[in-house]
Amino acid sequence: MKKVLFFVLAAFVTTAAFAQSRVTGKVTSSEDGSPLPFVTILIQGERGLGTNTDIDGNFVLERCPSDAVLVLSYVGYTTVQVPVAGRNVVNITMIPDALALEEVMVVAYGTAKKGTYTGSAAVVRSETIKDVASMSFEKALSGKVAGMQITTTSGQAGSAPNIRVRGIGSMNASNEPLYVVDGVPVVSGGTGQMSDYLYTSNNVMNSINPQDIESITVLKDAAASALYGSRAANGVIMITTKRGRLGKPVINFKASVGLTPSFATVNYDIAGPEQQVELYYENFFNAGKYEGKTDAASSSDALRQLNNRFNKHGYHFTADDNTVKSLKIHGMTDGIENREGKFYDWDDYLFRTAIYQTYDLSVSGGTDRATYYSSISYTKEQGRSTQNDFSRISGRVNVTQKIGKIMELSTSVNLANSTQHGFNDTRNVSSNYFMLSRNLLWPLYWPTNYKTGDPWTARYGSYAYNHLYYDQHWDNFAKVLRIGANESLSVKILPELVLKTVLSFDNTSTRDHIYYDANHYSGSNVNGSVNEMYTNYYKLVSSTTLSYDKEFAGKHNVSALVGWEAEENKTDFMRSSGTNLATDALQTVTTAGTYTANAYYWGHTMLSMLSRAEYSYDGRYYISGSFRRDGSSRLGENSRWGNFWSVAGSWRVTNEEFMKNITQISNLRLRGSYGVNGTLPSANYGWRALASYNSKYMDAPGGVIANIADANLAWETSYTWNAALEVGLFNNRLNATVEYFNRDSKDLLQSVPISTVTGFSSTLRNIGEINNHGVEIELSGDIIRTNDLTWSAGITGSWIKSTVTKLYGGDDIVWYDPYAGDSRAKFIYREGESTLAYYGIEWAGVERETGRNVWFLNDEDATADLTVDGRPATYSYAKANEVILGEAHPKFFGGFSTDLTWKGLSVGLTFTYKIGGYTYNAPGRDINDDGYYWERIMSQFCYDNRWTPENKDAKYPQRIAIDMEDVNQKSSRHMNPADYVRLKNITVAYTLPRSLTSKVHIQNARIYFNGANLWTWAAHKEYDPEVGHWGSRGWEMPIGKTYTFGLEFSF
């Protein structure tokens, strides 16, 4: 890249000068005051008179004209021109070019300059994300890139956020973007098999230490991403890790500690103990009245129920005048403890102030022959649940070595070892600790028996159990060891012709362990059980490219790239399990009386050819084109190969003659692109009709046919238009980008429900088309820009419309939120409707006089029981027709941020927001119940909003213990507006003055505070509004407010 810059600079060289003298000086970075070595310094107009700074940033220019203008250029910094103005000592500060148009960014198979790149891509620099206390980098990207939606749904340590680039590009196949690290596609998502037993999975992206990241490029349109062909339809996230810079070794040390004492919002907070008891009484009292019993009989039945349930926990109940008002809770006096007036605070045991700590040490540097960056890091993240934590040790070595004159070898080795402990995040009554705390554990349940003081070992009603006891009787962990080696060799055959070959090996081995001893209810039936699983993921990528880049006649720039790539993925799986364990002192399979085992492997491969050509004229007109051909083992022979391509162009209007005099406009550029890329099926063998052999019988193997397959399964293909206008005003103090895109995705893959009479409930097919189009805006500006004080602000916003345009059979397809198999929300694909259209029955609320649920009939043929708002309605949900109830997509979403810097002090705020759409409150059926789940506790929201004779305008019906399941219906009852604004991050940092730190040989010292999720406004205040991409909130552990304090030194 330096070479390219050199050419550009050469163009500026113009005049000669007269008086000459010796000029010395030092070049430092404005960022941290560190000296910049090997900065190219030229004298404007004087060919051959330049120099470079030395390793300490010092330079000497002999025979420098006194009126000379020095032109300083350095990769990653804005080129500056400094008049010598007769001085002998010229100290110069260079500013990193974070927003500069000449900024070099990493793109598919190469680099490009932001100001001339024809595709749509966004870059996030390490500075932006480095202070956020997060195990994985994704969380820190929230609100930073227009069109990219990042949602953190789970507050579990080790969980991964959802990322969507430009809406939904797929139905059944993956909507995940492709991750590319240092130019090589990598494994992403979960790698273990723990989802069969406990928690969903661990996220392998956690193996990348965010502190090792130099920059992240998000490729959004086809022009940017078509070179990744069949995997690029959902966008590409390219991660570039840090490499050494020329200069003396720089040692960087960073430590931070974060505290998460509370959740970010209200999350189904439970009603108080007395209120719970009231609800319970009311439930049975009302059922008695429904049966036609007297008040006295109903009251006594209700009290009997309460006594049955809670006598054994040390309470008894009276209601002297047979009303809820006279309901009293008394302590039992026949035990060693009288619990009158006392209740157990389960939250106090289950949750904690979670501590996050991370330590990073890196050393980097380089000579003109070799550069290096090496780091080691340790991070430990606790979940708020006492049963959840995640830790990681990672190390990285990045070395670049020149060999001879024309070769350069670049090596990256990453090693990460992580361990996760956790529990279930889904609606699992027996292993979701959050759900237990909000729905199952009565404050009237105690961990000890009030009579004896012994631990309570029986399960409480409705599957609740005593954690204080059971947490000592089970264990689990998932350990991930990831080793990635990436070797790249480039050969400069000619100055303009470079051959580059990359070989990458990525090995992720996951060991999952889950153990229940014989005292745990999950192990008691088999006298203890232990499972050990090893999943070994190998990914081998080899790519070779030949690139050509030349300028002709000073005006014509031509570049071209051809290459090919092969990729092999293989996963080995092995499980051994034991039951009937000899002792609870050991947790190994070898102690078991009975063993079972399983082992097999799976994988997929891909072959590709790729090419790209670019031409630009006079810094004004740019065109480019790319073509890639992919073959994948995930498709059958007939449809295995697919072609993907793009064309793009841009016009840099500011470089036109007629713009020269309009000095206010510093940048004006138009660009556009069109292209085709694709998505592969996520199933490795989806096109094959298969028989499987995992149904043993009579100790002999058994086989069954496993599917009805479509051998002609094809790629999903996306056709994307993109057009953008970029404006920079007042020397780029104000920048704006407005971008429009339109993506038609065809042949979408979906597991389609079929008549189950065929023996199978679904088959994978190419079934339809969807369209995503939208507008993205990015505005940023420096409101104040002085030497000591800068104040900048920026906003990103996206409006995306995502619609099902065609279903090949014409028939609607009903589907469920696939998150963790919970079937939380129900959706329908219907032509002309949203891709996330909630489907179900329409709730008409509560009948004012009776407190009963009412449903809109939405069926012309059926007879109504009543009318609500003039519309036919019914008391019976089974009579109501399902309709589209609304959509999960927001109308508008994005983020805004502001940064204030005054001398060494800086304050930054990042907000994220979402406007429009609905969230689906899946736990609503558990905690806003009408009486069906009478063994469970209810939320304060339920208590406050239920119908009673005194509260007839209630949102929810009367609580009554009859066998109605209205609450379990997928209906608009559980839908709420999704709008929210959240202060995602606030960072306050102070860099100690160099004059102070240099005395103790510290180049840079910085202290900072980061606060995450400290403030949230939500339209619906019952639960955290930041939901996953399916729009539904389930029983995930909510995210917390995190306060992080950190220190950073470099030597």
Partner 1 sequence: MKKLHILLAIFAVVLAVSCEGFLDVKPSNQASAETYITSVSDAEIMINGVMSLMTSSSYYGRNMFMYGDAKGGDFALRSQGRGLDQLYTFNHSHSSNSYSGYWTHLYNIIAQLNNLLLNIEKLEEEGEGSSALSNYKGQALTLRALVYFDLVRMYGKPYNMDKASYGVPLILEPLDASAQPTRASVEQVYAQIVADLTAGAPLLSKAKKNGYVNYYANKAIQARVYLYMENWAASLAAAEEIINSGIYTLYTPENWVNSWTVQFNTESIFELYIVTGESDLTSGSLSFYLRRHGHGSTSAMGWYMASDYWIERMNEDPNDVRWGVMDYDESFDQTGVKRYGSCYKYSGSTTFAGDGKGSATAVNIKVIRLSEMYLIAAEAAIGTGNKAKAADYLNAIRKRSPSLAPATAANVSVDMVLDERSKELFGEGHRFFDMMRLNKTITFNDDFIYPFVVITHREKTIDRTFYKTILPIALGELNANEAIRSQQNPGYATID
Residues 271-300 that bind partner 1 (CB under 8 A): 284, 287-288, 290-291
Rounded CA separation 871/869 (Å): 5
The answer to whether residue 196 forms part of the interface with partner 1 (CB under 8 A) is: no
Query: Does 697 participate in binding partner 1 (rule CB under 8 A)?
Result: yes
Residues in 901-960 at the binding interface with partner 1, rule: CB under 8 A: 932-935, 960
Per rule CB under 8 A, is residue 755 in the interface with partner 1? yes
DSSP-assigned states of every residue in 500-532: EEEEEEEEEEEEEEEEE-TTSHHHHTTT-EEEE
Residue 695 binding partner 1, by CB under 8 A = yes
Q: Which is nearer to partner 1, 604 or 889 (CB)?
A: 604
Q: What is the pattern of x (binds partner 1, CB under 8 A) and - over residues 454-493? A: ---xxx-xxx-x-----------------------x-x--
Residues 213-272 that bind partner 1 (CB under 8 A): none
Coil vs helix vs strand at 650: strand
CB under 8 Å to 513, separation ≥6 — which residues?
475, 476, 477, 478, 479, 530, 531, 532, 533, 587
Q: Tell me which of 706, 729, 775, 954 binds partner 1, using CB under 8 A.
A: 706
Q: Return the H-helix or E-strand segment holding 891.
A: none
Could you give the string, one character per residue 425-454, with x where binding to partner 1 holds by CB under 8 A and - elsewhere?
-----x------------------------
The distance of closest approach from Cβ of residue 846 to partner 1 in the complex, given in angstroms and rounded to an integer, is 18
Q: Does 692 bind partner 1 (CB under 8 A)?
A: yes
Q: For partner 1, which residue of 51, 52, 66, 580 counts as binding (CB under 8 A)?
A: 580
Instruction: Select 62 or 811, whichever has its Cβ closest to partner 1.
Output: 811
Task: Round to whole Å and give the CA distance between 352 and 354.
Answer: 6
User: Residue 554 or residue 703: which is nearer to partner 1 going by CB?
Assistant: 703
473 φψ region: left (φ > 0), alpha (ψ -120 to 50), beta (else): alpha
If the CB atoms of residues 608 and 987 are measured against partner 1, the closer one turns out to be 608
In the complex, minimum distance from the CB of residue 992 to partner 1, in angstroms, rounded to a whole number: 48
Site map 714..753 versus partner 1, x via CB under 8 A: --------------------------------------xx
By rule CB under 8 A, what string of x and - marks binding of each residue 527-556 to partner 1? Answer: ---------------x-x------------
- For residue 49, how many other CB atoms are within 10 A of its CB? 20
608-647: which residues touch partner 1 (CB under 8 A)? 631-633, 640
Asked if 564 interacts with partner 1 (CB under 8 A), we say yes
Nearest residue to 222 (alpha-carbon basis) of 527, 676, 560, 525: 676
Taking the least distance from each CB to partner 1, the nearer of 269 and 935 is 935
Considering only 553, 585, 963, 1001, the residue that binds partner 1 (CB under 8 A) is 963
- The sheet that has 882-887: what strands, in order across it? 813-816, 826-829, 837-841, 882-887
Angle at 117 between CA 112 and CA 123, to 5 degrees: 70
Task: Give the HSE-up count for residue 548: Cα atoms under 13 Å, Cβ half-sphere.
Answer: 11
Q: Answer yes or no whether residue 968 interacts with partner 1 by CB under 8 A.
A: yes
Sole binder of partner 1 in the list 3, 63, 555, 696 (CB under 8 A): 696
Tokens standing for residue 739 = 């971008």
3-state secondary structure of 467: helix
Q: Determine the interface stretch with partner 1 among 35-43, 301-309, 319-327, 945-953 (rule: CB under 8 A).
A: 301-309
Token pair listed for 242: 């840090």
Handedness of CA 432, 433, 434, 438 (dihedral sign): positive
Output the six-digit token pair for 507. 């090995």
Return the closest-CA partner of residue 993 out of 899, 901, 903: 903
Binding to partner 1 (CB under 8 A) within 842-901 occurs at: 859, 861, 877-879, 881-882
Residues of this chain, 399-428, that bind partner 1 according to CB under 8 A: 403-404, 407
Relative to beta strand 247-263, strand 162-165 is unpaired
Q: Which of 593, 818, 821, 993 binds partner 1 (CB under 8 A)?
A: 593
Considering only residues 6, 7, 600, 617, which one is a binding residue for partner 1 as defined by CB under 8 A?
A: 600
Among 617, 693, 902, 1017, binds partner 1 (CB under 8 A): 693
CB atoms within 10 A of CB 1007: 16
- 507 versus 527: smaller Cβ distance to partner 1: 527
- 690 forms part of the interface with partner 1 (CB under 8 A): yes
Query: In which residue are the tokens 């939208």 written?
Result: 774
Distances (CA, A) of 387 to 198, 444, 471, 520, 1040: 13, 23, 8, 15, 16
Q: To which H or E segment does residue 93 belong?
A: strand 92-94
- 3-class SS of residue 664: coil
**140-148, 355-363, 703-711, 1008-1016 -> range binding partner 1 (CB under 8 A):** 703-711
Q: Which two tokens stand for residue 230?
A: 């069949």
Site string for partner 1, 766-805 (x = CB under 8 A): ----------------------------------------
> Contacts with partner 1 in 648-687 (CB under 8 A)?
684-685
Residue identified by tokens 């129900």 is 826
User: Are 985 and 1015 spatial neighbours (Cβ–Cβ below 8 Å)?
Assistant: no
Contacts of 694 (CB under 8 A, 6+ apart): none
Instruction: Compute the least distance from the CB of residue 687 to partner 1, in Å.
Output: 11
Decide whether 605 or 790 has the Cβ nearer to partner 1.
Answer: 605
